[in-house]
């Protein structure tokens, strides 16, 4: 049962680690009970030393980090400035990358082609509108609208005899029929 527990201490990360773990497990299984206990005691002592070194390094790192922060504060380097500098450096790195440069080139090319297409579409529409304006159908419509306007203007003038514009004709018609505007009652 003891051999079974030692074989499952950790999952191997790769096939090579699996082979190494199998070899270690086989060697460990071949040891006597006293040798196994001795190995475990050695490993426990080594683990304690390594954990102590890790804790010491963490303490030293924390002390160095505090000292660096104090120096930065004295130099006027703020966290915001550091973040800004890091972001700017990251953007410079991205802009210098070949992927960004290719993307930028493709976007410029696409923009130029799109502008060219829209320019030709606009030119085509302008040309067609100009052709329509100069066509016989459009001239006929313009003449009809102009004639209708002149007829309305003539009728308004002929009814009153002295009116020169449509709004004047409306005003004259309203006063002769006794209609007043809503604001007339306010001014009286």
Tens digit of each residue's pLDDT (9 = 90 or more) over 104-153: 888 888 888 888 888 888 888 888 888 887 888 888 888 888 777 777 77
Distance CA 38, CA 41 (A): 5
What pLDDT is stored for residue 188 in this prediction? 47
Per-residue pLDDT tens for 119-130? Answer: 888 888 888 888
Measured on CA atoms in the order 27, 30, 32, 33, is the torsion positive or negative?
positive
Q: Which residue has the tokens 């802009």?
A: 95
- pLDDT over 90 (residue 174): no
CB atoms within 10 A of CB 170: 13
Minimum mean pLDDT range among 16-20, 24-28, 97-101: 16-20
- pLDDT over 80 (residue 179): no
What pLDDT is stored for residue 178 in this prediction? 55
What pLDDT is stored for residue 8 in this prediction? 47
Per-residue pLDDT tens for 47-87? Answer: 999 999 999 999 999 999 999 999 988 998 888 888 898 99
Distance CA 82, CA 89 (A): 10
Q: Has this prediction a pTM greater than 0.75?
A: no
3-class SS of residue 158? helix
What pLDDT is stored for residue 62 in this prediction? 96
Distance CA 149, CA 143 (A): 10
């Amino acid at each position: 049962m003891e051999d079974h527990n030692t074989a499952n201490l950790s999952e191997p990360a790769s096939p090579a680690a699996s082979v190494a773990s199998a070899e270690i497990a086989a060697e460990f299984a071949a040891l006597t009970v006293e040798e196994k206990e001795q190995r475990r005691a050695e490993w426990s002592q080594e683990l304690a030393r390594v954990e102590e070194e890790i804790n010491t390094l963490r303490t030293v790192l924390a002390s160095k980090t505090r000292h660096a922060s104090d120096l930065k504060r004295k130099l006027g380097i703020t966290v915001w400035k550091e973040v800004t500098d890091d972001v700017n450096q990251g953007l410079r790195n991205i802009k210098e990358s070949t992927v960004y440069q290719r993307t930028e080139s493709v976007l410029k090319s696409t923009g130029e082609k799109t502008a060219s297409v829209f320019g030709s579409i606009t030119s085509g529409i302008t040309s067609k509108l100009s052709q329509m304006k100069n066509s016989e159908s459009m001239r006929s419509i313009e003449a009809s609208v102009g004639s209708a306007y002149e007829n309305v203007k003539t009728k308004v003038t002929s009814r009153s005899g002295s009116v020169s514009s449509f709004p004047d004709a409306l005003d004259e018609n309203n006063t002769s029929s006794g209609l007043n505007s809503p604001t007339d009652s306010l001014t009286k």
